[in-house]
Amino acid sequence: MTYKILFLDIDGTILKSDHTYSDITKQAISTVKKQGIEVFLATGRPLHEISGLAEDLNVHSFIAYNGAFALHQGKTIVDEPIPQNNMEQFIDIAANHDHELIMYTRDQNYFTNFERPFISKFIDIFGLKDNTAFTPEITDQVLGATVLNVSPEQVALYEIESNLRLSPVHVNGAEHSYDILRKNVNKGYSVEQILSLLDISREQAIAFGDGMNDKEMLSAVGEGFAMGNSHEDLFPYAKHRTATVTEDGIAYGLNQLGLL
């Protein structure tokens, strides 16, 4: 099989828990790029927070905000903000249940509250930099959102429409945090748009991920790899199970395909 495209989640896939990545991972990405394989970073993070990593890895195409925005070599492919009425409902739900929201636009991260310890911890865990206080004027510009301080029993509060689901943030220290996802706008949706635009078959596509926000992406490609450190419920959506991020799971999986 001639593979043409590779989608890589960031946290728990490229990046270890200390926010570093191995030289083996960087070399693996460089090697497949030299073979003409297009590489996308595919993340729940906002685009403005991954520019440094992208530069380090020499990657210039992205799926961000859990699939609500996609960029190929500077050209926008997907741009799907969360409907404003949904965001207004989420803000009300959070206020009524002692939760907090982080809302990600194209340029900033907006917080409903900076004073709570779990907010500071979340900022530190993900190294978020472009942070400011929420203002109602941006509710029509939100590409992604995370709700914090939520118990498992409260998840259903945000699933106000059949199109909406909450996905646990699969990073140590970020317990009780959930990304708000849409079933029709996710990483898999962006993968499908990209494959169609570039005229690449799903069989020629590879993806690596570790969280439940990766399940649609792993299902949308021919060679889906769940990292060894993945959320247990992710494995049924992947064709392969690779090594953990600390064991260079990306390189291990690409080697299994004969690419390294």
Spatial distance between the Cα atoms of 113 and 167, rounded to a whole number of angstroms: 21
**Angle in degrees, CA 28, 33, 38, rounded to 5:** 120
Q: Which of 162, 182, 202 is the last residue of a domain?
A: 182
pLDDT of residue 172: 84
pLDDT band, very low/low/confident/very high, at 83 (cuts 50, 70, 90): very high
pLDDT of residue 176: 93
Residues 88 and 178 occupy one common structural domain:
yes
CATH number for the domain spanning 21: value is 3.40.50.1000
214 pLDDT more than 90: yes
pLDDT digits (tens, 9 = 90+) for 26-45: 999 999 999 999 999 999 99
pLDDT band, very low/low/confident/very high, at 174 (cuts 50, 70, 90): confident
Q: Which of 153, 182, 211 is the last residue of a domain?
A: 182
pLDDT of residue 170: 83
Based on the structure, what is the number of domains in the chain?
Answer: 2
pLDDT band, very low/low/confident/very high, at 192 (cuts 50, 70, 90): very high
Going by DSSP bridges, is the β-strand pair 144-148/100-104 parallel, antiparallel, or unpaired?
A: antiparallel
pLDDT of residue 11: 94
pLDDT digits (tens, 9 = 90+) for 133-171: 999 999 999 999 999 999 999 999 999 999 999 999 988
What is the mean pLDDT of the segment spanning 204-232? 97
pLDDT band, very low/low/confident/very high, at 99 (cuts 50, 70, 90): very high
pLDDT band, very low/low/confident/very high, at 78 (cuts 50, 70, 90): very high
CATH number for the domain spanning 94: value is 3.30.1240.10
What's the mean per-residue pLDDT of the chain? 95
What is the mean pLDDT of the segment spanning 93-113? 96
Q: Which of 25, 44, 39 is nearest to 170 (CA)?
A: 44
Residues 74 and 193 occupy one common structural domain:
yes
Other C-beta atoms within 10 Å of 50: how many? Answer: 17
What is the mean pLDDT of the segment spanning 223-230? 97
173 pLDDT more than 90: no
Residues 99 and 118 occupy one common structural domain:
yes
1 pLDDT more than 90: no
| Residue 32, amino acid | V
pLDDT of residue 171: 84
Give 4-66 as a 3 state SS string: CEEEECCECCCECCCCCCCHHHHHHHHHHHHCCCEEEEECCCCHHHCHHHHHHHCCCEEEEHH
Give this prediction's pTM. 0.92
Q: Which domain holds residue 203?
A: 5-80+185-256
Residues 191 and 76 occupy one common structural domain:
yes
Handedness of CA 47, 144, 69, 231 (dihedral sign): positive
- What stretch of H or E contains 147? strand 144-148
pLDDT band, very low/low/confident/very high, at 240 (cuts 50, 70, 90): very high
Longest Cα–Cα distance in the chain:
53
Q: Which of 151, 182, 213 is the last residue of a domain?
A: 182
Distance of CA 86 to the CA centre of its chain: 20
